[in-house]
Structure 1
């Protein structure tokens, strides 16, 4: 069965997979600078992936609702995503003392991977 919700879930899963690969490569590149730099890059990218997953669970969950309910779920999912990202970044830099540059690089790489994954059309089954 092909529905917009099912397609949205597949698209979110693909984006998270692409993000995981891109962030892993970025963390490996930062490993040359040190383990804390690699950890920071991985944490920044993981924050985006986790936030995106939570956003998709909220936005695409709940079944069929009127448009106002669907829009409210979408906005709540996006808001939660960025709350998670900001919280992880603040905890990583402030509490764990990780360097902010690789953490932001991980965020940027994960967002770019998400953009590329979502720009590519889904294969029809």
Structure 2
């Protein structure tokens, strides 16, 4: 097995950096916001409540993704155990925010559930495309 040379200044051996994760989080936030607004405008065909419902569902998912990114990339460079803990904390915060947002929209504000779920699904699909894109 051949030994690899040591990295030269300006080069690193890591596969991905925290900065790349932060850029991805920004790209996801923009994509989810655009998809949420497009879905809310489309749902306005069925009335103001449906448009607000789609907006609430999409924003709940977008807020959740932002919390997950903050949890995962909010700190400085750390060891693997700390990073795993941050990732788990961010994921837990995401699903708490999404669950509470959907509950508030459907049960408390009495917005139409199909529209709320359509907004959440649109934001989730936008997340998928933003994560899978190569740019």
TM > 0.5 fold call: yes
SS of 1:78's equivalent in the other structure is: helix
Residue in structure 2 matched with residue 4 of structure 1 by the alignment: 17
- Quote the RMSD (CA, aligned, Å): 1.4
SS of 1:39's equivalent in the other structure is: helix
Task: Provide TM-score, normalisation by structure 1.
Answer: 0.93
The gaps in structure 1 that reach 5 residues or longer are: none
Task: Provide TM-score, normalisation by structure 2.
Answer: 0.86
| Structure whose alpha-carbon radius of gyration is higher | 2
- CA drift of 1:101 comes to 0.6
Question: Which of 45, 57, 69 matches 2:58?
Answer: 45
SS of 2:45's equivalent in the other structure is: coil
Q: Which deviations, in whole Å up to 9, do the C-alpha atoms of 1:24-64 show, x marking residues without a partner?
A: 11111100100000000011000111111111111102211
Distance 1:37 1:78 in 2: 28
Residue in structure 1 matched with residue 67 of structure 2 by the alignment: 54
- Which is bigger in relative contact order (C-alpha 8 A, separation at least 6)? 1
Does residue 1:81 correspond to 2:91, yes or no?
Answer: no
- CA drift of 1:65 comes to 1.4
The number of equivalent residue pairs is 122
